Every structure is written in structure tokens, then in C-alpha cells.
A and B are shown apart, each in its own frame.
Chain A
Amino acid sequence: MDNTANRWRTIDIVIASVLGVAFGVIFWAWGLLWNGPADAIPLPGRAVLYGVWLVPAVLGALIIRKPGAAFFTLTFAALVSVALGSSWGWTLVVQGPLEAAAAELAFAAFGYRSYRLPVALLAATLAGLAASIYDVFIWYPGTAWGSFRLPYILITAVSSLVVAGLGSVALTRALAGTGVLDRFPAGRERAAI
């Protein structure tokens, strides 16, 4: 791929940021709706929430299709949710980029050329693994591997695979159907009307 194809256009930067902002607001509204309980229950509520939290990484990459898209989108979404006040506060400033980098790895491994379902699923799973392993060491030290850590990591990975992986692919299709992605490759795959 040549350099001009990898250069971010203004619209790429703004839409990646807008996705971050929109997810920041969606997480905020989610918090109002479920008012914390899902966030406080370690299993399996947290794990399901986890998949939702990782959607921006995969979605950003599928829409923008530029190197760094997964990383930038999720990192910025994390920053926005910190600014709006999340229940994990500031700690997301490190965790967000970590998960984002894990997702980015999947797209980089395919040379930023493939944005199909298997790559999306891989990215989502990697992000889920990074997130849950970080949690287990930083937030739940001293817990047992057998009864907590392994199931937690596994459930989070599966939930990210389903929610962030499959979910992002479906969401990209649905968004393309509304015509808002016409200036992106993802939007151009739809039949002209």
C-alpha cells in the first residue's frame, strides 16, 4: 500500500473521534439505565458489558480502514468516558490504549489489507484477552485461578468475540445501509440506488 492510501483524511480523523464521542455518550446513558449494578457484578454481567466496551476498536477499524484506526478510536473513547465520569475513572487511560493496541495488532498482522469477518473476530478476541488479563492482575489480584481468573478471561474473550467482533461487523453493515458511510470503503460495498 502506498502512502496516500494510508494517510488519514480529515473525515477519517473526525469520524473516528465522533465514534469515540458517541460511544462515550452511549456508555454514559447505559450507566444511567442500569445504574451501576451490571458494572458491579463481576460475573457474568461485567463480561457482557466488556464486549460493548470494545466495540469502538473493531468498529473504528472496519469503517476507517487505516493503520491506527482501532487504536485511535478506542483510546479516544476511553478518554471521553473518563472525562464524562466513568465508574473506573482515570484507570481507563492506561487500560483503553492497551486493549486498543491488542485489537490493532490483528489488523496489522494482515497488513491493513483485510477487514473481513475473521480478522474482526480475531481483533475483538485479542482486545478481550488483553482487557481481562489486565483486570485479573491489576484489579483482582489474590483471586483464585481455577474458580475466578480462567473463567473470567474466557468469558470476556467469548463476549468480545460475539459482541465486539460479530456486533461490529453487523453494525458496520447496518450503518452502511443508512448511507452515512458513503465516503468510506465500507459504505461503497453496498449496491447503488
Chain B
Amino acid sequence: MSGVELRGFGWRHAGRLRWAVRGVDLRIEAGERVLLLGASGAGKSTLLAALAGLLPEDSGEQEGTVEVDGLDPRKARERVGIVFQDPETQLVMARCGDDVAFGLENRGVPADEIWPRVDEALRRVGFPYHRDRPTAALSGGEQQRLALAGALALRPTLLLLDEPTANLDPAGATLVRRAVADALDADTTLILVEHRVAEALPLVDRVVVLEPGGGVRADGPPAAVFAAHGDALAAEGVWVPGRTVPPRRATAPAGEPLITADRLGLPPRLAPTDLAVRAGEALAVLGPNGAGKSTLALLLGGLLRPGTGTATATAALAGRDAGTPPHRWRAPALARRIGSVFQDPEHQFVTGTVFDELALGPRRTGRSEATVQTTVDALLDRLRLAKLAGANPYTLSGGEARRLSVATALATAPRLLICDEPTFGQDRRTWLELVDLFAELRDAGHGVVTVTHDPDFVAALADRTVTLERP
């Protein structure tokens, strides 16, 4: 049983001028189930870290107080369990059982009690494998469940979950949510951060919305909060349930093929796949975690050498190079024809500033400096990045980094655009912007391929879908 009390709480990360979160007054009683909302960058993750006692004094500046059961959270850590968004970085050990045992060892649990508690935690989250299984051999959803088991094994009375399903396919996300629902004791307090509100609502009985500038924007039972503030919240980027997006259908039928895949595959990552992408159409690639969607995107993008079959570009895309497979093209030629957006935006950054990042592609493909300047300015405006032109790409927030990575692929105006999960972890505002952008490109005769787990995005944009199965 743990209660939480924040009075005028604020935190500013070292090296920042702006407060990440500020002026929060909030009381959560023991046993409550709370959904914490707010636009991207509103400080949700920072607040959870504060409650878990994971903001060391030397890493920033604090204002006001935060207490868990009347204690400083740094002294109440053994009452709190937290699961972060990215499962890969929260697994510590190489074998699943050892990973769950890690926390128990740290807390000094007697050796003979450790393994029974490990097995119990794994059973509660419905983990399907033996505890000797290597953590590296788990899919994203399985890793997420293991992380949850690692937190539950410590028997926390306050459980904090930060977007625990962001990287998962719909089936995996459902499994994790069900694991949370089943594993919670009646007296465990839960604070959940999740952009996709509709899916999270069955787990919670209270909604708290953080205001980006500081303070709490709205607080109360979900129905009451969304009835009173629904429109305003939606405009700010919160995914308010029940608000649909008008679909953006193609304005003209698809044109000539740009690239065709003939039994294209890379064992064991991707089974042989046939498909064709046409000009003026948006194709969505779906499938469970590990089906090989990202691999397919890289193969189509001419970045990986195929293991089986071929990718063939047509003359419409590649002119005289149509005879050679895309993975053998020189890089500047590739960048002119096919734009690729990677699953992890940080992999994509090459230079020191946002401006140079956008200018790189056009410069490498031999555009004049004046053209480069106008192209970059237009993109900066379009994606609301103009103020950040001088910033280092690695310092951007998740949403901004994603927008920049899409913009870099657009800068060379490629005829074919391939995007891997362009909408994950995005608030509603960025999401709508991306849908508009892709729809415009398609209507201007570009081919658009998106790999995605996001059914709303498919419904809003895709003309055609391809679903991959696990190889």
C-alpha cells in the first residue's frame, strides 16, 4: 500500500534552461490506478523517474517536494517498481531467470527464497519459456513481459509503467496489458503513462493530465476529464478516445510500378516475399514483431544485400541504372531515388546541427547551395523545426527526432519513400502532420511504403497493405 504526494514539485535537468516539469500538486491514494497524460515533452517520464527515486541530486535541480508514503523516494526505492519504454536497455542479465533474480539479489533476499520468487513472477506475467532462455532470443513483447516480471518479483506497492507497449505489435501489446491487469494485487498503486488512451482505459480509474508549461491540467475519472476538456486536450496532442481522424484517400489511381520484389528475402530474418510498389500509392507493411518488416524495408531501400530473390527498380525510378539492383548503386544515386527512414531515428543522424543534417542529402547529390538553402528552409517550416535549426540532432525530444528523420529522407525529393514505424511514440499532433505529409507526397506521384503497427495510421492513409508472417 503506497500513497504519493507531490507539492509544488518541479525538476530541471542539468544542462537545461527549461524545467522538464514544474508546479505539480498531486495526491494519489494507496491502491489508486492512474493514467498520466500530456503532450510529448510535458515531463511524464521525468515525473515517473522522480517517484522511483531515480533523479539523483547531482543530475538536476528540484523544486517543491515529492513523497512516497511520506518518505523521500530515494529512500523508498524498495517499495517502487518501474518498467520503462525501451525493454532492451532494462534487461541486465543474459538469461531470463537471472534477470528476474537480479533485483532480488540486490535487495538481499535469502538465496533459497530467490528462485521460488523468480518462478512465481514469471508465471504471473505468463512468460512462456524456461528461465534459462537467453534474453537476447526474446521478441520485443516477450522482453517487455520479462521486464514486468523483474519489477513484480520485488513485490512493489507502487508500480510505475512508462509506455510499456510502445514498440509492440497489437497482439503483444494486448498480452502485456493483460499481464499487468492479472499481476496487480488489489492494494498495488499503479501509475501508467501511455499515449494511446483508449487501450489503457480498462486498467485505470483516474486520469491526470500534465500541462506542458507546468502544473496539472486536468484530474479526475476518465469520463469526466474527457467530457470537460476533450477538445482542448485533443488540440494539444493528447489522444482523446472516441475522436476519429478523417481518412486521406488517394486522389488518383496508382501509376507505373517503381520497384518490384521477386521472392525477396534474407533467411532467417525475412522469408521470400513478392510485392510491387507503384507511383502515387501508399503501401503499408504489417506483421507481428520479428516478422522481418524492417529487414524488408532495408532490402527495398537498397541498403542490404538480398539473401534470396531480387529487388528490381524500373526505368521510371532508376533511369539507366534500372538493370543493376539497388544495393549496388552508389550512395548519392540511391539517395536521389529512394529515401529511407529508420526505425530508430538516432541511427540516422550524421552531422552536428539540424540544418546540416537536412542539407547533407541535397549537397551529396550535387544540388547548388541556393537550392539547398530553399529546400531546407521549406522543410524546417513544414515540420516545425525552424527554431531548432542550430540544435544538435541528438538533443532533440523523441517527437522532434522522428520528424527530423522523416525530413532528411524528404530533402533529396526521392521518388520512393520507405519509412519504418514513422508514428510510434508520437502525440496526436505530430501524428496528424505526418499523415498529411505522406498523403501529399503520394498525391504528387511518389511511392510511399510505411512499416507500421499502428492500425489508425493504416486506416487513415494506406491504399494497400501487405502482411508478413514470422519466417
Which residues of A approach B to under 8 Å, CB–CB? 9, 177-180, 182-183, 187-188, 190, 192-193
Contacts and interface: CB of A to CB of B under 8 A. Distances in A.
A142 B169 CA distance: 65
A177 B351 CA distance: 12
Given A179-B395, A180-B394, A193 B14 contact: no
Given A178-B395, A187-B14, A190-B15, 8 more contacts: A177-B392, A179-B392, A182-B14, A188-B14, A193-B15, A193-B16, A193-B17, A193-B395
Contacts of A190: 15
Contact of B394 (A179, A183, A188, A192): A179
A43 to B, nearest CB: 34
Q: What is the interface of chain B mostly: helix, strand, loop, or mixed?
A: loop
B299 to A, nearest CB: 22
Interface residues of B, number: 13
B378 interface: no
A13 to B, nearest CB: 12
B59 A192 contact: no
12 contacts: A177-B352, A178-B392, A179-B15, A182-B15, A183-B14, A183-B59, A187-B14, A188-B14, A188-B15, A192-B17, A193-B16, A193-B17
B56 interface: yes
Contacts of B395: 178-179, 193
Interface string B7-24: 000000111110000000
A183 B14 CA distance: 7
Interface string B48-59: 000000001011
B59 A182 contact: yes
B391 interface: yes
Contacts, number: 32
B394 A178 contact: yes
A193 B390 CA distance: 11
Nearest to B16: A192
Contacts of A180: 394
A192 B15 contact: yes
A183 B57 CA distance: 10
A190 B391 CA distance: 13
A193 B387 CA distance: 12
Interface string B218-258: 00000000000000000000000000000000000000000
Nearest to A176: B15
A190 B14 CA distance: 10
A33 B247 CA distance: 49
A179 B397 CA distance: 12
Nearest to B346: A178
A188 B58 CA distance: 11
A188 B16 CA distance: 10
Contact of B13 (A9, A177, A182): A182
B138 to A, nearest CB: 21
A177 B395 CA distance: 9
A112 to B, nearest CB: 17
Contacts of B14: 182-183, 187-188
Contacts of A179: 15, 392, 394-395
A9 B56 contact: yes
A183 B56 CA distance: 9
Nearest to A191: B15
Most chain B CB neighbours (cut-off 10 Å) among A177, A180, A182: A182
Nearest to A11: B56
Nearest to B59: A183
Nearest to B388: A193
Interface in B385-416: 391-392, 394-395
